[in-house]
Structure 1
Amino acid sequence: MASSGFVELERKYDVDDHSPLPPLHELPGVSRVEQPVEHQLEAVYFDTEDLLLASRGISLRRRTGGEDAGWHLKMPAAGGRREFHEPLGDHAGNVPAPLLQLVRVHVRDRILVPVARLQTRRVVHRLRGPGDVHLADMSDDHVQARSPVTGAVGARWREWELELADGRPELLDAGEDLFAGAGIRPAAHESKLRRALGSRPVPAVAAAPQPRRKGPAAAVVLAYLDQQVRALKEQDPLVRQDAEDSVHQMRLATRRLRSALATYRKLLEPDTAGRLRSELRWLAHVLGDARDAAVMQERVAGMLESEDADLVMGPVSRRLEIDLGQSSRDARAAVLRALDEERYFRLLDALDALLADPPLTKLGSQPARKVVPKLVQRDLKRLKRAVKAARRAPAGENPDLLLHEARKCAKRLRYAAEAAASVAPKQARRLADAAHEVQDILGGHQDSVVARQLLRRLGAESFGLGENGFTYGRLHALEEAGAADSAARFRQAWKNFPAAALVK
């Protein structure tokens, strides 16, 4: 697993060979500037042949020389770039697995190859503040680009980098003012790699369509799909790092994608939507197993902790840890395997292709204000039918299954309304909030159903092991009471549910 990384905050400037360094000691808060230290650096940058990482503002390099020799991965982050480090290792061409996992969602099963080689003579001026605090480093770089294969000389340039250490961001602003006074402007390129690539084309990432009430209906679903694909890709490396709540968030993006493709399927060619929904169902199922195992472990463990000690009979905690802990570990292992499967990579390719060149139907080109409300209304009617079926369940029909179906319909309506926010903002928000409330209530009910199944099984197994099954029965009864309460809350919430969807 790679480190959590740190956010790099810096400003770059283009300068000519004869530009004198400004008086850095005049910057606010700077007490002294250390004597400069010179380093000889060599960096080899890795990417796919078609520069997929560069197109997303990501750089991956192996650098020798200087104080931080090693592998460096830089990814876009709020306010700067997040940087991850790994040791040099024994083989110059082998990207460390922890860093490779962080970019796998972009490169997938493509090969990473050297795309640029930079030799840099760096002179570092360290800025110190009161108490000798390390505020920032001013690096004066003379850069020489070379071919990563032949070593042939390419472009030469000089640039300055002012990078924060423990200083405040205001120092960067003051530095920019100081340099501007000397006629120095910010760099034209966002990174050394971009400048080294020169005229080599870097593929552009398509901008998301802007949905409008009077615009085409397809823009509504495409903007929502784009948003969820981005969310899925953001969560992929976090899931691999086992970040908190990452599996849930990735599963949520997957479900939203699948739901939107269902609600708005008539705006896209049926074969495309159908295939994607099938593959998204597979991914959501894999993520769901991991998420459900973790939720159930937390739920039952929390109930057990709330019990009086004299009501906990036998090794209940130990049995829960053995059963649910193993289930959770197995489910996580299955997720990690799935994220490295060709099937997952092809799903990502298909999602990218859909957004890059969407196969639209004629209905998709019609005004959103006329088309979208009808599609959302269909999902509202679908929910009403499911609720009616649950409330009028005939004898012998399992009401839990019917309530679970109503929950799934509420979830689909919620996502449909979220996507339709550009068509009728207030109505869509009200509908989405109401559907979310129903979904949450019935989600708690369904969790109770699963928990009772688990407790019943563990109780039966405890009897066979010669253990006391009292506590399992008691927790089962508490879950029954909780489910009854959820059902009552659902009936109350449904009384206030919006009668209509969106006004055209």
Structure 2
Amino acid sequence: MESPTHRRVGVCTPGLPGVPHSREDQTHHRTGERVRSTTEHREIEIKFRIPADLIINIGDILASTHHIGEPLDHRSMDATYYDTASLSLIRWGVTLRRRSGGGDDGWHMKLPLRYSDAGAPAHGMDEIHVDGTASLIPSPLVSIASPLIRRQELVPVARVVTERSPYLVRDDQGEILVEVVDDWVALEGFDIDRPPATRFHEVEVELVADSKQAQRVARSIASALRDAGAQPSTVSKAASAVGRRAGDPPDVPIISPPATDRPAVDALQYIFARHVNSLLEADVAVRRGLPDSAHRLHVECRRLFSILQTFAPILDPDTVAFLCEELSWVSAELGEVRNAEFQSARLSAMTEDPAAREFIAQALDARVQATRSGALAALRSDRHGFLLEDLIIMVAEPPVTVDGFAPAKKTLRRCIGLSWRKLSSAVGAAHARGDDALWHKIRRRAERTAFAMDSVAPILGPEYSELAASLRAASDSLRDEQDSAISVEWLRDMSASAPGAIGFCLGALASEISRGDAAPRSAFTEEWPSMDRHARSLKLVRR
């Protein structure tokens, strides 16, 4: 639920480029308009621009690679692209269009693969297609775009008319491996910043089959095109239509790690940019309903929280307190989804009784749906939108104190050393069968320190990632212990409303889980001396 006393940090006005609008303004469909279905597919393609003085015949190109192209009917396609006045989507690498004439009339959104999977390859796009005749932008696409445009209005920015001649390349069994499209493209930008050319020739080689043979065929065709004088390109038709501003950086730019003798504020800007980008990508994935996306966004919120807490000694305290409060709120909403999904899979697998398994599945599936609805409501709230804007401002202007202008190496190491010493103090006070609250504190401090170490590793060196990995592995068992405690609590709640035999089975399972030993805590304690020696070698601990 949104706090009535929600406040903002910094000068963060709604006046980002573009016209602010209600999220509902663009999510309705007019009476009589038809929206049938939403589908997705992954598009892996190699794109080429053909110089104006070069004549290329696709049939000849395919023949030179010993493949026969099967020509399909010519298509005339007319697409209108939508974006904010500041071209937010295109600058993020995302395009949104309404197209007719291609056999897939309707709305299309293309997103780089990083919005689907963390660490995904840079090439390739996911395309979301909403089939229908709606003239207003469909609500699923507005929702997906929201983290990237926030409260800016989506308006027509360009028109692209394409005359397409497609060819299919099959294997000996008739399976389609690759599609090659020969496009003549005419552009019309709706802004004074017109592109220098309004017409160009483009060829795309797209994988259809997910096989090594298809990849080999695509590479051979691409090689033949390069040999013929075609020029590899990564520029979309939409970017070509809107002109040079399409090449401007996104709201959160990619920043290279600074040298260790640079001011700490430069290092924090790099760290903030890297992880705010990851948070936005995970946010988009949640709105698409992708597997494990809620957990991914939960982790990104926890990571940014940990980074802010660790480097709080050189940051404005009011800003840190506010942002950590907001990140904790979002993280808690998403943590409920993660717990429900995890416990549903775990508890269903732990019982061999079919009736008990079915009861657990029904009860926890309802809980999963309820927590997902709650998390999506939080992400669609103004409070969350304000948080995203504040995080973007934090990247642009890191809220450092005067200490943030000292050299990065010494300053970052000092902050992480303080976090390590707090963790060490808690570990020294703990016993394997000691206070549960203290072990929970150890787990949280270990997570916080590991996140911070990972964040500085590109600047201070890979040995910080190595220590973070050891710390994370040792603390994962403590997370398993907490998951077991949640399992016991939920099983006892379900057993209270379950029929007799099922209730008995659930209660017995809860008792079995609760008899867990102190092995996770003992394992952490045994690993601690090795990790502490590693920390001392990095000069995180005063000798």
Q: CA deviation at 1:64?
A: 1.0
Q: Does 1:341 align with 2:384?
A: no
* TM-aligned CA distance change 1:171 to 1:322, over 3 Å: closer
Counterpart of 1:158 (choices 179, 195, 200) is 200
In the superposition, the TM-score normalised over structure 1's length comes to 0.86
Counterpart of 1:113 (choices 126, 143, 155) is 155
Counterpart of 1:192 (choices 237, 248, 267) is 237
Q: Does 1:373 align with 2:413?
A: yes
- For 1:325 and 1:136, the matched residues in 2 are separated by 40
Structure with bigger gyration radius: 1
- In the TM superposition, structure 1's runs of 4+ consecutive aligned residues that sit over 6 Å from their partners are none
Q: CA deviation at 1:214?
A: 2.9
Other-structure match for 2:505 = 471
| CA displacement 1:299-335 (0-9 Å, x = unmatched) | 3323223xxx5xx9xx543543344332222111111
| CA displacement 1:208-236 (0-9 Å, x = unmatched) | 24143333323443333322222222222
Unaligned runs of 5+ in 1: none
| CA displacement 1:271-318 (0-9 Å, x = unmatched) | 32222111101110000111112222233323223xxx5xx9xx5435
- For 2:168 and 2:363, the matched residues in 1 are separated by 55
* TM-aligned CA distance change 1:344 to 1:13, over 3 Å: same
Counterpart of 1:262 (choices 298, 309, 321) is 309
Q: How many pairs align?
A: 487
Q: Does 1:204 align with 2:249?
A: yes
Fraction of identical pairs, as percent: 27
Counterpart of 1:359 (choices 379, 399, 403) is 399
Asked if 1 retains the 8 angstrom alpha-carbon contact of 2:450 and 2:472, the reply is yes
Q: Does 1:326 align with 2:366?
A: yes
Indicate the SS of the match to 1:410. helix
| CA displacement 1:218-264 (0-9 Å, x = unmatched) | 34433333222222222223223332222111111110000000001
* Structure 1 segment 71-150 matched on structure 2, within 5 A: 71-77=107-113, 78=121, 80-92=123-135, 94-127=136-169, 130-146=172-188
Q: Does 1:419 align with 2:455?
A: yes
Indicate the SS of the match to 1:162. strand
- For 1:249 and 1:424, the matched residues in 2 are separated by 26
* TM-aligned CA distance change 1:157 to 1:277, over 3 Å: same
Q: CA deviation at 1:418?
A: 1.5
* TM-aligned CA distance change 1:62 to 1:304, over 3 Å: same
Asked if 2 retains the 8 angstrom alpha-carbon contact of 1:209 and 1:223, the reply is yes
Asked if 1 retains the 8 angstrom alpha-carbon contact of 2:182 and 2:204, the reply is no
Indicate the SS of the match to 2:235. coil
Moved more, 265-274 or 246-255: 265-274
Unaligned runs of 5+ in 2: 1-36, 114-120
* TM-aligned CA distance change 1:214 to 1:90, over 3 Å: same
Indicate the SS of the match to 1:372. helix
Indicate the SS of the match to 1:80. coil
Q: CA deviation at 1:133?
A: 4.8
- For 2:416 and 2:189, the matched residues in 1 are separated by 55
Other-structure match for 1:3 = 39
2:240 partner letter: R
Counterpart of 1:280 (choices 310, 320, 327) is 327
Q: CA deviation at 1:20?
A: 4.9
1:141 partner letter: D
RMSD over equivalenced CA pairs, Å = 3.2
Asked if 2 retains the 8 angstrom alpha-carbon contact of 1:407 and 1:438, the reply is no
In the superposition, the TM-score normalised over structure 2's length comes to 0.80
* TM-aligned CA distance change 1:332 to 1:214, over 3 Å: same
Asked if 2 retains the 8 angstrom alpha-carbon contact of 1:128 and 1:136, the reply is yes
Q: Does 1:443 align with 2:443?
A: no
- For 1:135 and 1:201, the matched residues in 2 are separated by 32
* TM-aligned CA distance change 1:267 to 1:129, over 3 Å: same
